[in-house]
Amino acid sequence: MHRYSLAHSRRLSCPANAPCLSSQTRAPAELRRRRLLSPSSSSSSSSSSSSSSSSSSSSALVPSLPSSCPPPEEGAEERVASYGPLVGALRRHLPPRRGQRPPRVACPGCGLGRLPFELAAMGYEAQGNEFSYHMLLGSHFVLNCCLEPESHEIFPFVLCSANRRGASDHLRSVRIPDVCPRTALPPNARLSMAAGEFVEIYGDQPGEWDAVASAFFLDTAKNIFLYIRVIASMLRPGGLFINMGPLLFHYSHMPSQVSVELSWEELRPFIWGWAARRDVAGEEGRGTTEGMGRRERGSPRCKYFVAKRNTEPVTGKSNPVY
């Protein structure tokens, strides 16, 4: 039996949108085996030595986009669009190899931990990082407390009275998890969660990581320079910085908060300064809008890139903005 412990625990935050957990259980559910990844990315895995473990475990855990908690089938579609390119890039450039130490991949701001779960299932040593106490509670519950798929019923929208079409939209429930980490992950899977603020945790881990896979995270920064600087410092030369997400800076609509809000054009030279090679695939990925998990998706302009760390040392300093 696995138990995924916290690798670190530092400053946590408690935002308002936690899913409501019901403790109801139900009789063993038929397992829904939905693939997370597109056929192309999963087929490429067959050449990888550790891929045998991945095939049985690439289905939805919990709705992975915490802002709207869509039903699992909708969530799966979004994960393919948003996580598929990240996972595909890792498979192409940094595949796990039999007999070798698994590549270490950090997933900052991982929400409910879906991405590190997928990577661990594929043979990576994956670490999720999150500072929201509510997110951590959710991922802990699924990783460590759920015994079988669809064993619990949650009501993700029950406190959400806005933007309903039907009178009982907010009473719609979702069964979780649709895949259970305890049974889906192989016994030797390497998955951990680092609880706390990203900069505080990774700011003093120079060169310790083979890759950073960030999904919908960079724009959570108050000072994005600081995030990028930390990512550059934690990657070994040749390590990969793979990103998917928009520049919808989280603090931009809060007049009382100071934040650095740059365009991609302004940000790019700063990132490329630490990159020996880079590959920008343009705008992909998909987030969700608020709206009771209905098909009311927004289309954030996501930036997807793969940057290979050069040997340029990380000098200078970026100030935190609190």
Ligand X SMILES: C[S@@+](CC[C@H](N)C(=O)[O-])C[C@H]1O[C@@H](n2cnc3c(N)ncnc32)[C@H](O)[C@@H]1O
Q: Return the number of the residue (20 or 171) whose C-beta is nearest ligand X.
A: 20
Q: Return the number of the residue (29 or 258) whose C-beta is nearest ligand X.
A: 258
- Distance (Å) of CA 128 to CA 125, 135, 238, 261: 10, 11, 21, 25
Q: Return the number of the residue (148 or 284) whose C-beta is nearest ligand X.
A: 284
Q: Is 51 in the site for ligand X (CB under 6 A)?
A: no
Least distance in Å: CB of 111 to ligand X? 3
Least distance in Å: CB of 110 to ligand X? 5
d(CA 313, CA 99): 31
Q: Is 230 in the site for ligand X (CB under 6 A)?
A: no
**Footprint (CB under 6 A) of ligand X, residues 95-154:** 109-111, 129-132, 135
Which among 162, 1, 142, 181 has a CA at the least distance from the CA of 63? 142
Q: Are 228 and 42 in contact (CB under 8 A)?
A: no
Q: Return the number of the residue (88 or 111) whose C-beta is nearest ligand X.
A: 111
Q: Are 272 and 278 in contact (CB under 8 A)?
A: yes
Q: Return the number of the residue (195 or 271) whose C-beta is nearest ligand X.
A: 195
Q: Is 215 in the site for ligand X (CB under 6 A)?
A: yes
Q: Is 304 in the site for ligand X (CB under 6 A)?
A: no
Q: Which of 42, 51, 54, 64 binds ligand X (CB under 6 A)?
A: 64
Residue spans of beta strands (DSSP E) within 124-220: 125-130, 152-154, 174-176, 190-195, 209-215
Q: Which of 198, 241, 249, 274 binds ligand X (CB under 6 A)?
A: 198
Q: Return the number of the residue (95 or 300) whose C-beta is nearest ligand X.
A: 300
Which range, of 92-100, 139-147, 168-176, 210-218, touches ligand X by CB under 6 A? Answer: 210-218
Which among 253, 246, 195 has a CA at the least distance from the CA of 224? 246
Which among 238, 228, 292 has a CA at the least distance from the CA of 266? 228
Separation of CA 134 from chain center: 15
Q: Return the number of the residue (135 or 307) whose C-beta is nearest ligand X.
A: 135
Least distance in Å: CB of 229 to ligand X? 13
Which range, of 29-37, 137-145, 211-219, 256-264, touches ligand X by CB under 6 A? Answer: 211-219
Q: Return the number of the residue (78 or 150) whose C-beta is nearest ligand X.
A: 78
* DSSP code of residue 143: I
The residue type found at 4 is Y
Tokens 């940057």 sit at which residue?
Answer: 307
Least distance in Å: CB of 288 to ligand X? 9
Q: Return the number of the residue (157 or 216) whose C-beta is nearest ligand X.
A: 216
Which among 118, 116, 280, 138 has a CA at the least distance from the CA of 212? 116
Q: Is 65 in the site for ligand X (CB under 6 A)?
A: yes
Which range, of 16-24, 163-171, 214-222, 269-277, touches ligand X by CB under 6 A? Answer: 214-222
Q: Which of 42, 45, 57, 220 binds ligand X (CB under 6 A)?
A: 220
Residue spans of beta strands (DSSP E) within the chain: 6-9, 104-107, 125-130, 152-154, 174-176, 190-195, 209-215, 235-245, 275-282, 303-309
C-beta nearest to ligand X: residue = 109
The torsion angles phi and psi of 239, rounded to 5 degrees, stand at -70, 165
Q: Is 274 in the site for ligand X (CB under 6 A)?
A: no
Q: Strands 303-309 and 174-176: what pairing?
A: unpaired
Judged by the rule CB under 6 A, the positions of this chain that interact with ligand X are 64-66, 109-111, 129-132, 135, 197-198, 215-217, 220
